[in-house]
Amino acid sequence: MADVVIAVDQGTSSTKAIALDTAGAIVGRASVQIGQHHPRPGWVEQDAEEIAASVIEAIGQAAEAVTGRVAAVALSTQRESAVIWDKTTGAPLGPVLGWQDRRTAGSARKLVEEGHDEVVRSISGLPIDPMFSALKFAWLLAETDAANVALGTVDSWLVHRLTGEFRIEAGNASRTGLLDLATVDWSDELLALYGIPRAALPTVVRSDEPTAPIRGVPGLPVGIRVHAVLGDSHAALYGHGVRAAGGVKATLGTGSSIMGLLDSPKTSLPGLVTTLAWACENPVYAFEGNILSSGATLVWLSGLLSITPDELLAQAQSGAEGVDVVPAFGGLGAPWWDSEARAVLTGFDLGTAPADLALAAAESVCLQVEDVLSAAETATGSPLGTVLLDGGPAANDWLAQLMADISSREFKRPVTTGVSALGAARLAGVAAGLWHDFPDEDSRVFRPGRSAEWADARRQRWHAAVALARRQH
């Protein structure tokens, strides 16, 4: 009857949960699908109530599967998505604006043209871009006339719904574009720039600060608290066991995140952003490159071809080289940060087959990751070692090998899936006094199987296609 931590991984398309015992074994799993809405081109919305309900259901399912005592809960969440709700009633006052939402691109462009980007980067570590929450908060505020408004990221919405507390974890707060990395508190200068009242924002807290007791979740004992909250990418880094500068991971999902720890906060990293990885006794800083469309590219093309993403990757293995897909559906993220870039398809002709398109889509995932890894080496001045790999698409062995071939790097993928939930669970167990930490997971290593000359030529052709995508505006 070992103590168990239930960790929730609340993502873009689903909410998953694992139950982790004190021996480090996963003794229960749950998964609940959630929807996404696209009312206009470039708009990405979700339902705050649906997200909250999915978390409650996933926790309940995971709790039912375990025989031990549930001792703590942990949250790993999507990050930049913005939620607005009534502080008094707890009712949402608008849709959740997803992290992929680009409706504020015009506002971002105006602020950049006015010369604000440098000061925003110097304080927050982030560029002015529609991806980050600040512009989403401003849009949501403009659409409501409610008086007692709460604004937050998904973690703050969930904590409020589960416990009644109005707070935000420091790493998630660092993804808004409103946090001062030096003070780990809201920046009055940035709040004024974006027109966000401080009273509407939650209190910034440590990643391992326990919440008030959880209420209204069937299957949980009375008095159970959330003992750790992390953004999903941050949780994956923690789950990989990275605790010092030098380690880097690539998480493949709807988008992708390449993240590694820094010795100190650096706000001048060309092509990358600086963020808080987590804040426990002290804040720990990281560099990150965010790719807007990776797994989403595979989902888009598989839908177009009326097959599943798994079938798409199977077809890709017989595809002919020569086609490029640059998935700038809502602009390009790192290392370009070009919100005006447009999606392009190059190198096709009347003989191009679906398998060729499938190969190009798979390659686009790998090529975008390598662009960010190269930018990280340039920005930090240090070569990267083995890259830690996780996320749904990374579970495909062929894609993981393609990643190694295109990057001419070694990648290591843990045997255990759900690294984000695992990382949040590990931190919660430490915070709750259940354990100190776990050793590294067993992993599978993928080494380059193609020549460096082939990889270099492939990247050069990709960069030519990227240049075309960026000239379309």
Structure token pair of residue 113: 């043209």
DSSP letters of 215-271?
A: -S-TTPPTT--EEEEEEHHHHHHHHTT--STT-EEEEESSSEEEEEE-SS--S--TT
* Residues of the chain above pLDDT 70, percent: 99
Q: Say whether pLDDT at 451 is over 90.
A: yes
The pLDDT-based confidence of 473 (bands split at 50, 70, 90) is: low
What 8-state DSSP symbol labels residue 65?
Answer: T
Chain centre distance of CA 79: 6
pLDDT score recorded for residue 439 = 66
CA–CA separation, 106 and 130 (whole Å): 9
Structure tokens given for 109 = 């462009």
Show the tokens assigned to 116. Answer: 């604000």
Cis peptide before 335 (omega within 30 of 0): yes
Q: Does domain 3-235 have CATH number 2.40.110.10?
A: no
Chain position carrying tokens 């608290």: 225
Q: Identify whether the C-beta of residue 133 lies closer than 8 Å to the C-beta of residue 78.
A: no
Rounded CA-CA distance 288/236 in Å is 13
The band of 84, judged by pLDDT with boundaries at 50, 70 and 90, is very high
Q: What is the spatial distance between Cα 420 and Cα 76, in angstroms, rounded to a whole number?
A: 6
CA 122-123-127 angle, to 5 degrees, is 65
Residue whose entry in the numeric block shows the structure tokens 């937050």: 152
Mean pLDDT of 4-9: 96
β-pair type (273-279, 283-291): antiparallel
User: pLDDT for 298-344, tens place per residue?
Assistant: 999 999 999 999 999 999 999 999 999 999 998 999 999 898 899 99
User: Helices 354-380 and 309-316, interaxial angle, to 10°?
Assistant: 90
What are the residues facing 3 on neighbouring strands? 69
Res. 416 pLDDT band, cuts 50 70 90: confident
Distance CA 132, CA 176 (A): 5
Nearest Cα to 31, choosing from 418, 446, 426? 418
Neighbours of 73 (CB within 10 A): 31
Is residue 268 scored above 80 in pLDDT? no
Give CA–CA dist 237/165, Å, rounded.
27
pLDDT at 159 over 90: yes
**Per residue in 220-265, pLDDT tens?**
989 999 999 999 999 999 999 998 888 899 999 888 999 999 988 8
Q: Residue 1: which pLDDT band, with cuts at 50, 70 and 90?
A: low
**Which two three-digit tokens encode residue 33?**
């699908």
Using pLDDT thresholds of 50, 70 and 90, give the confidence band for residue 167: very high
Q: Say what the pLDDT of residue 75 is.
A: 98
What residue has token string 């992929």? 100
pLDDT at residue 60 tops 90: yes
